[in-house]
Amino acid sequence: MRYKDDDESVIEIAHPIQISTQPWGVLRLIYTLSQLDKEIEASQKQIQQEIGKMVYKSIWTALGFLMVSFVIVYLMSSRLSNPLINLTQSARRLSKGDFSVSSNIHIQSKDEIGVLAASFIQMSYELKDSYEKLEEYSRTLEQRVAERTRELAEKNEELASTLEQLARHPKTIDCE
């Protein structure tokens, strides 16, 4: 039985005592609960502190895992995006006529990016060959134009001299 006695909680345990068949009395034990209440309150405070520590450790652990995850994601994304960025920069240099970009590209893997890099290198070599052939065609064309221009100039001089002779002697010209 629990009750309050003089603003203090107490527990009373009562047990009848008998000797043979006759009641001999009642054994009563009365305990104050103030010490037990203090222990319960101290335990609750300790539990709250432990909960706070666990929450604090959990937050730091979660932040640690997040930081490690971000580092891993950053490294993986860099590993995947850097070759693409390098290929993009090489394509821009190649478009400006820098055919040496293919020597700066290193194929590091055999995945899609490696295949793309190999194709880019092959394309740059083929473009370089095409550019060199085009320059050669341009040079030969310039030579042919110069030669043809010289031939035309000679024919013009012949024509001019023939016209001049015709103007001087209209009947003595030998036409070929």
User: What are 140-174's pLDDT values in tens digits?
Assistant: 999 999 999 999 999 999 998 888 888 887 665 55
Residue 81 lies in a domain: yes
pLDDT of residue 1: 57
Helices (H) and strands (E) in the chain, counts: 2, 3
Residue 147 lies in a domain: yes
Residue 116 lies in a domain: yes
Residue 121 lies in a domain: yes
Residue 37 lies in a domain: no
Query: What is the layout of strands, in order, in the sheet containing 22-32?
Result: 2-5, 8-19, 22-32
- Whether the full predicted model's pTM is greater than 0.85, yes or no, is no
Q: Is 169 left (phi over 0), alpha (psi -120 to 50) or beta?
A: beta
Residue 33 lies in a domain: no
Domain hosting residue 121, numbered range: 49-168
Number of Cβ within 10 Å of residue 176's Cβ equals 3
The total domain count for the chain is 1
Residue 26 lies in a domain: no
Residue 119 lies in a domain: yes
Q: Write out the chain's pLDDT in tens, 176 residues.
A: 555 656 677 888 888 888 888 888 989 888 888 888 889 999 999 999 999 999 999 999 999 999 999 999 999 988 888 888 888 888 888 888 887 777 777 777 778 878 888 888 888 888 888 888 999 999 999 999 999 999 999 999 999 888 888 888 766 555 55
Q: Which percentage of the chain shows pLDDT scores above 70?
A: 92
